[in-house]
Chains A and B, each alone.
Chain A
Amino acid sequence: MHPAPSVIFFTAFSGLGFGLLAWLGIGLPDVTGRPAFGYYFIGYALAVGGLLASTFHLGNPKNAVKAFSQWRSSWLSREAVLSVITLLVIAPYAIGRIFLGTDWALLGLAGAALALITVFSTSMIYTQLKTVPRWNTPATPVLFQLYAIGGGALLAGQGAVAALLLLVLGAAQLLAWQKGDRRFAEAGSTAESATGLGRIGKVRLLEPPHSGRNYLMKEMVHVIGRKHAQKLRIISLLFASLLPAGILLFLPASYATVLLAVVVHVIGLLTARWLFFAEAEHVVRLYYGK
């Protein structure tokens, strides 16, 4: 699939933002007043920024508001609705913490749960697609959840806990890649099943339907850059998981340390998300002999 920057930023930053808001919702770190403002500002900036990024990839953004209407059937619609509800539920909690110095714990808990459910619905937009076997597995929601909780813990200054979560994330990511590499073959779609000509024999594309490119090929038959996949996997594993965990565990705890770990983690996260899209193979490629 085409790794469009808008969807990479959308999933990466809104995930981080909601992850941080989930930690803040359960009162970690237990801050009020000015420091609380800082944390909530970052959480909202990331979540809202990510959501805004997603609108850049719309062909007809003037209808974007209609995306709130189909929550009964569509995960994308659910994601839109849930993110707004989550931001609205956490807002009074944040105001309580920042301006009144109070902790309305139940409200915070509800907000935290909603934040994680929002991340789940984001992941389901991709997981639901049978056409992309690499995404169509429980590993996708698990990974999205771990990126949100792990990255959120990092932003929330949860030191050792964050380090541990990032290591778990690294292991899960490694496993997901390994399993993911076999998914397309396991799902069983082939040029023979796509054309129904398998009963006659082996099928190969003789002539494509058009000499130029088209929307389908640009969007779903993306193959550029896959050759660097192995290197990029190592980079993203190092940057998203091992390095920030190491920084948190072995450098003296300070804002600067956390900031360094965050920057390193974000580089790894963006690389991993680029791979998530670029490595995903859509079954329509079978009609294009790819």
Chain B
Amino acid sequence: MTTLPAKTEKKLGLVIDLDTCVGCHACVINCKEWNTSNYGAPLSDVDAYGPEPEGTFLNRVHAFEVTPEDGGCAQTVHFPKSCLHCEDAPCVTVCPTGASYKRTEDGIVLVNENDCMGCGLCAWACPYGARELDQLAGVMKKCTLCIDRIYNENLPEEDRVPACVRTCPAGARHFGDLGDPDSEVSKLVAERGGIDLMPEQGTRPVNKYLPPRPRDSAAASGARLEPVAEEPKGFLAWLDKALEAI
């Protein structure tokens, strides 16, 4: 059913720390590996070894440069982006076949590939570019929040998190229930002022981004080193005089 549930029991999602992400793309690779060899159609590549390789990914890392308006130093921010499992997911309601849905139990937004006709309308409806139509399979692919890991009792406990979270060497990705104010992720969001992407689109994303912490700024702190000497002394003073005499 492509109507949205009025309320979900949990709001499982990711919290991504833009202060910590180093832009290594490990999450991109582990996501591709897990999701190409497990649930659903594999994430295909076209011209993988040719001059114009391209393929389907569920998670991609952009890098932005932010320049403060007051002329301070520009800052590089690595920016991983995948489905935000929105509460008001426009991708779900536009779907004509019923393939796209949001789960009542945990709020995960999924595509049932047996129903998808590959019209692409859901990808048009998503503001975040979180859905990609697989060019070989012809069905819509998106982040499943590794639904086949997080509830998988065949995996050791520490592996029951999304592949991207498990692999991140910087610890920049956190997974949990954002509907529970006492969960670790909710506390993190409260403490660090987690934000929504494009709130003006009205999608109410579950995933939150933790903004980079303020950097020291030379202009603002005035912490410039004092010169140790204005006038030369000793040998340098002699050299100074000698050179002036020439």
Q: Do A and B bind each other?
A: yes
Q: Is B64 an interface residue (CB 8 A)?
A: yes
Cα A57 to Cα B81 with chains together (Å): 27
A193 with B198: CB separation less than 8 A: yes
Q: Is B38 an interface residue (CB 8 A)?
A: no
B117 with A64: CB separation less than 8 A: yes
B60 with A74: CB separation less than 8 A: no
Instruction: Name the residue in A131, A187, A203 with the highest tally of chain B Cβ atoms < 10 Å from its Cβ.
Output: A131
Q: Which residues of A in the span 11-68 have a Cβ within 8 Å of any Cβ on B? A: 57-64, 66-67
Q: Is B120 an interface residue (CB 8 A)?
A: yes
The 0/1 profile, CB within 8 Å of A marked 1, for residues 106-132 of chain B is 000000001111111101111111001
Q: Is B75 an interface residue (CB 8 A)?
A: yes
Chain A residue with Cβ nearest B202: A130
Q: Which residues of A in the span 180-200 have a Cβ within 8 Å of any Cβ on B? A: 187-189, 191, 193-197, 199-200
Known A212-B54, A214-B132; judge A66-B117 contact (CB<8 A): yes
Q: Which residues of B in the span 62-109 have a Cβ within 8 Å of any Cβ on A? A: 62-69, 72, 74-77, 79, 81, 90, 93-99
Cα A283 to Cα B139 with chains together (Å): 23
B56 with A215: CB separation less than 8 A: yes
B201 with A283: CB separation less than 8 A: yes
B198 with A74: CB separation less than 8 A: no
Contacts of A220 in B (CB 8 A): 123-124, 129
The minimal Cβ–Cβ distance linking B129 to chain A, given in whole angstroms, is 4
Cα A212 to Cα B124 with chains together (Å): 20
The 0/1 profile, CB within 8 Å of A marked 1, for residues 139-175 of chain B is 1100000000000000000000000000000000000
The minimal Cβ–Cβ distance linking A140 to chain B, given in whole angstroms, is 14
Contacts of A196 in B (CB 8 A): 195-197, 209, 211
B198 with A194: CB separation less than 8 A: yes
Known A131-B125, A216-B129, A220-B124; judge A63-B197 contact (CB<8 A): no
B129 with A287: CB separation less than 8 A: yes
The minimal Cβ–Cβ distance linking A146 to chain B, given in whole angstroms, is 24
Known A74-B94, A194-B197, A200-B211; judge A219-B119 contact (CB<8 A): no
Chain B contact residue count (CB 8 A cutoff): 70
Contacts of A1 in B (CB 8 A): 124
Contacts of A66 in B (CB 8 A): 96-99, 115, 117
Instruction: Name the residue in A64, A210, A213 with the highest tally of chain B Cβ atoms < 10 Å from its Cβ.
Output: A210
The 0/1 profile, CB within 8 Å of A marked 1, for residues 169-202 of chain B is 0000000000000000000000000011111111
Q: Is A225 an interface residue (CB 8 A)?
A: no
Q: Is B135 an interface residue (CB 8 A)?
A: yes
Contacts of B209 in A (CB 8 A): 196
Chain A residue with Cβ nearest B193: A199
Q: Of the candidates B18, B54, B64, B132, which one forms a contact with A204 in the assembled complex, judged by CB atoms under 8 Å apart?
A: B64
Stretch of A75-83, A91-99, A155-163, A266-274 at the chain-chain interface: A75-83
A216 with B2: CB separation less than 8 A: no
Q: Of the candidates A69, A76, A131, A200, which one forms a contact with B212 in the assembled complex, judged by CB atoms under 8 Å apart?
A: A200
Cα A70 to Cα B98 with chains together (Å): 6
The minimal Cβ–Cβ distance linking A34 to chain B, given in whole angstroms, is 39
Q: Is A129 an interface residue (CB 8 A)?
A: yes
A189 with B201: CB separation less than 8 A: yes
The minimal Cβ–Cβ distance linking A204 to chain B, given in whole angstroms, is 5
Cα A58 to Cα B133 with chains together (Å): 10
Contacts of A284 in B (CB 8 A): 126-129
Contacts of A208 in B (CB 8 A): 62
Q: Is A205 an interface residue (CB 8 A)?
A: yes
Cα A283 to Cα B203 with chains together (Å): 13
The minimal Cβ–Cβ distance linking B51 to chain A, given in whole angstroms, is 9
Cα A57 to Cα B169 with chains together (Å): 41
Q: Of the candidates A58, A199, A287, which one forms a contact with B117 in the assembled complex, judged by CB atoms under 8 Å apart?
A: A58
Instruction: Name the residue in B54, B97, B98, B211 with the highest tally of chain A Cβ atoms < 10 Å from its Cβ.
Output: B97
Cα A220 to Cα B132 with chains together (Å): 11
Contacts of A207 in B (CB 8 A): 62-63
Q: Is A72 an interface residue (CB 8 A)?
A: yes
The minimal Cβ–Cβ distance linking A205 to chain B, given in whole angstroms, is 6
Cα A187 to Cα B200 with chains together (Å): 8
Contacts of A125 in B (CB 8 A): 94, 121
Q: What are 5 contact pairs spanning A and B, CB under 8 A?
A: A59-B138, A60-B137, A69-B97, A132-B124, A205-B63
- 9 other A-B residue contacts (CB within 8 Å) besides A209-B61, A215-B123: A57-B119, A61-B117, A63-B116, A73-B2, A75-B94, A197-B212, A204-B64, A206-B63, A216-B123
B residues neighboring A (CB under 8 Å): 1-3, 18, 28, 52-57, 60-69, 72, 74-77, 79, 81, 90, 93-99, 114-121, 123-129, 132-135, 137-140, 195-202, 209, 211-212
A residues neighboring B (CB under 8 Å): 1, 57-64, 66-67, 69-70, 72-77, 80, 125, 128-132, 187-189, 191, 193-197, 199-210, 212-216, 219-220, 282-284, 287
